Amino acid sequence: MATQAHTRLAALMAARPVILAPMEDVSDAVFRALCRGLGADLCVTEFVNAEGLLRGCRNARRKLTLAPDDQPTAIQIYGADATRLAEAARVAEAAGPAYIDINCGCWVPKVAGRGAGAGWLREPAKMVDMTKLIVGMVSLPVTVKTRIGWGPESDMPIVDLARRLEDAGVAALTIHCRVAQVGHSGPADWSWARRAREVVSIPIIVNGDVRSAADAERAIAETGCAGVMVGRQAIDHPWVFREARARLDRGVDLPGPSHAERFALCRAHLGANAAARGLPFGVRVTRRHLAGYLRGLPDAAALRRRLLTEDDLGRCLDILDDAEAALAGRARAA
């Protein structure tokens, strides 16, 4: 049954969205806000474990919490038991996301090896039944993020699976264009997204190897899909969202972020994570981003090494201030 949420999702998909992928320990509320501020049209939460959510696990509840300005954001759930996933979807629905996304793409052995994530691809019929059950349990749109198959190529079910998922009531499908068994190795084959798109009427989102604005434009042009999802590139370079939007909307290639913007994003992310997660953990969880944020700055490697060993927020900010002041001094002297 169509709802206002279904109508809003259709409108989002019609605008060729550039979407922040669900990434564990990355796509939290702080990072979603940063990416949305830089042009992400839609965000997906970290993976929410269905069992943990139903047990009231603090971490699962944290991932489920959406602030009023954290929209549009989808909540992604994962698990190996269809009934428990359906129950978790109802809990997630109460948090007010744009839609519910089912993780059928995580290839990590501790997830897929237990039948969750991409493990569902071993038995596509059960995967379809599971999604149909969830669609029937909630009023929000339900989407699926999946791989093109478990592997090898002779056993890729994605085209037939896309048809069956549409019949089950799935509102959109995100396809990471690699098989589960290769993880992130080798190139993503976007042609599988095109083949799936040709046999369904629901929106298909391309995922895998979208690393730049040019990649986003090419992925949509080559596949005819509704939009793209950006994962690992966003960790180092969240400016990819504004760059992709400029390329898709106006055919414009934006310059890369200025040195001042790079320093500013480091400060903003460190400060927001410290406020949200406490110290020193808030500083530590930001470290994975800093190498990318600082890329291209003079003496970036040395600056990064200093920040990666510092747990104190104030000291981190001092290091950044000193580095930016030194850079400005060199520019004035030049």
Tell me, what's the pLDDT at 71? 96
Tell me, what's the pLDDT at 333? 81
Token pair of 133 as six digits: 């059950």
Q: Are 87 and 119 in contact (CB under 8 A)?
A: no
Residue of 35, 43, 104, 106 with catalytic role: 106
Report if pTM > 0.85. yes
Superfamily per CATH, domain 4-250: Aldolase class I (3.20.20.70)
Asked if pLDDT for residue 5 goes beyond 90, the answer is yes
Kindly give, in sequence order, each residue whose CB lies less than 8 Å from that of residue 216, ignoring residues fewer than 6 positions away.
Answer: 18, 210, 228, 230, 240, 244, 247, 248
Tell me, what's the pLDDT at 106? 94
Asked if pLDDT for residue 30 goes beyond 70, the answer is yes
Asked if pLDDT for residue 270 goes beyond 70, the answer is yes
Q: Are 101 and 75 in contact (CB under 8 A)?
A: yes
Tell me, what's the pLDDT at 154? 56
The SS3 of residue 151 is coil
The CB density around residue 191, as the number of other CB atoms within 10 Å, is 12
Segment 198-229, tens digit of pLDDT: 999 999 999 999 999 999 999 999 999 999 99
Looking at domain 259-333, does it have CATH number 3.40.50?
no
Region of 116 please: left (phi>0), alpha (psi -120 to 50) or beta: beta
Asked if pLDDT for residue 57 goes beyond 70, the answer is yes
Alpha-carbon distance values, 328 to 204, 274, 323, 324 (Å): 46, 27, 9, 6
Asked if pLDDT for residue 155 goes beyond 80, the answer is no
Chain position carrying tokens 């060729």: 16
Rounded to whole angstroms, the Cα distance separating 176 from 206 reads 6
Strand partners, 230: 20
Tell me, what's the pLDDT at 319? 97
Residue ranges per structural domain of the chain = 4-250, 259-333
Segment 127-142, tens digit of pLDDT: 999 999 999 999 999 9
Tell me, what's the pLDDT at 245? 98
Per-residue pLDDT averaged across 31-37, rounded? 98
Q: How much of the chain exceeds pLDDT 90, in percent?
A: 92
Rounded to whole angstroms, the Cα distance separating 239 from 84 reads 37
Q: Are 112 and 140 in contact (CB under 8 A)?
A: no
Q: Does residue 225 have an active-site annotation?
A: no
Per-residue pLDDT averaged across 151-168, rounded? 85
Segment 66-110, tens digit of pLDDT: 999 999 999 999 999 999 999 999 999 999 999 999 999 999 999
Per-residue pLDDT averaged across 46-66, rounded? 95
Rounded to whole angstroms, the Cα distance separating 77 from 49 reads 6
Rounded to whole angstroms, the Cα distance separating 93 from 89 reads 6
Asked if pLDDT for residue 1 goes beyond 90, the answer is no
